[in-house]
C-alpha cells in the first residue's frame, strides 16, 4: 500500500521526521498491506480448527495420545501467531523529495538524506518474480519499497522516477523557499 502526498506547509504530515516542509514537496508513504480477517474468515478458521480437533479424537480413542496433543499444539500456535501478527506494527517507509534533498526513513533503518542531484531510482528486475528498488546517490544505495508487494513496487517505481526527474527540472525558487 502506498500514498503520495503533495505536502504543503501546515499539513499534518509535516511533523513526521521524513515529511517534507517545503511548499512544493512530495511525500511518498509506503506501508505493508495488512487486511484484517473478515467475520467469514474467522468463522472458517473456527470450523477448520473444530474439524481438526474432531479428527484428532479418533486416534486418542485408540490410545494414540500424541496425535491430539500435536493437533492442539498446532492450533494454539496458529492462533498465537495470528494474534501476534495483528498486534505488530506493519513495516512502513517514507520518501520525501524537497528543496533539492531526498529523505528516506524506515521504521527499521536510520534516516537517509541525500542531495537531489545524483540521486536516482534503480529498478532491479533481474528475476521476474522479484523486483527490487534501489535509491542510489553516487556510491551509496538503500533498498526502498521492501514492504510492498511486487505489483505495488511495479506501480510505484515509475512514479518515484517521474517525481525525482520533476524535482530536478523544477527546483523551488529562492522566493518560494523563503516564504
**Structural domain spans, the chain:** 2-34+90-178, 39-87
Residue 19: what pLDDT? 45
CATH node for 2-34+90-178: 2.30.29
Q: Cα–Cα distance between 56 and 69 in angstroms, integer?
A: 9
Q: Which residue has the higher pLDDT, 17 or 60?
A: 60
Q: What percent of the chain is modeled with pLDDT above 70? A: 80
Say if residues 103 and 96 touch (Cβ distance below 8 Å).
yes
Q: Is the pLDDT of residue 17 over 50?
A: no
- How does the average pLDDT of the chain come out, rounded? 78
Select from 133, 136, 135 the least CA-distant residue to 124.
133
Angle at 52 between CA 46 and CA 57, to 5 degrees: 125
Q: Is the pLDDT of residue 10 over 60?
A: no
Select from 175, 174, 170, 178 the least CA-distant residue to 6.
170
pLDDT band at 80 (very low <50, low <70, confident <90, very high): confident
> Could you report the per-residue pLDDT of 35-79, keeping only the tens digit for each?
666 778 778 888 888 887 788 888 888 888 888 888 888 888 888
CA 91 distance to own-chain centroid: 5
Q: Out of 6-15, 18-27, 31-40, which region has the weakest mean confidence (pLDDT)?
A: 6-15
Say how many CA atoms lie within 13 Å of 32 toward its Cβ. 13
Amino acid at each position: 500500500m502506498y500514498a503520495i502526498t503533495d505536502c504543503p506547509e501546515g499539513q499534518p504530515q509535516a511533523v513526521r521526521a521524513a515529511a517534507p516542509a517545503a511548499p512544493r514537496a512530495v511525500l511518498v508513504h509506503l506501508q505493508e498491506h495488512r487486511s484484517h480477517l473478515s467475520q467469514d474468515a474467522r468463522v472458517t478458521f473456527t470450523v477448520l480448527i473444530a474439524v481438526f480437533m474432531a479428527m484428532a479424537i479418533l486416534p486418542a480413542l485408540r490410545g494414540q495420545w500424541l496425535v491430539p496433543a500435536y493437533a492442539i499444539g498446532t492450533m494454539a500456535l496458529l492462533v498465537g501467531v495470528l494474534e501476534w501478527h495483528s498486534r505488530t506494527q506493519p513495516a512502513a517507509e517514507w520518501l520525501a523529495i524537497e528543496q533539492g534533498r531526498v529523505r528516506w526513513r524506515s521504521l527499521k533503518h536510520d534516516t537517509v538524506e541525500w542531495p537531489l542531484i545524483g540521486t536516482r531510482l534503480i529498478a532491479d528486475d533481474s528475476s521476474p518474480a522479484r523486483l527490487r528498488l534501489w535509491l542510489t546517490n553516487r556510491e551509496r544505495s538503500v533498498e526502498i519499497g521492501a514492504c510492498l508487494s511486487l505489483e505495488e513496487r511495479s506501480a510505484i517505481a515509475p512514479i518515484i522516477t517521474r517525481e525525482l526527474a520533476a524535482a530536478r527540472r523544477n527546483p523551488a525558487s529562492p522566493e518560494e523557499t523563503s516564504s
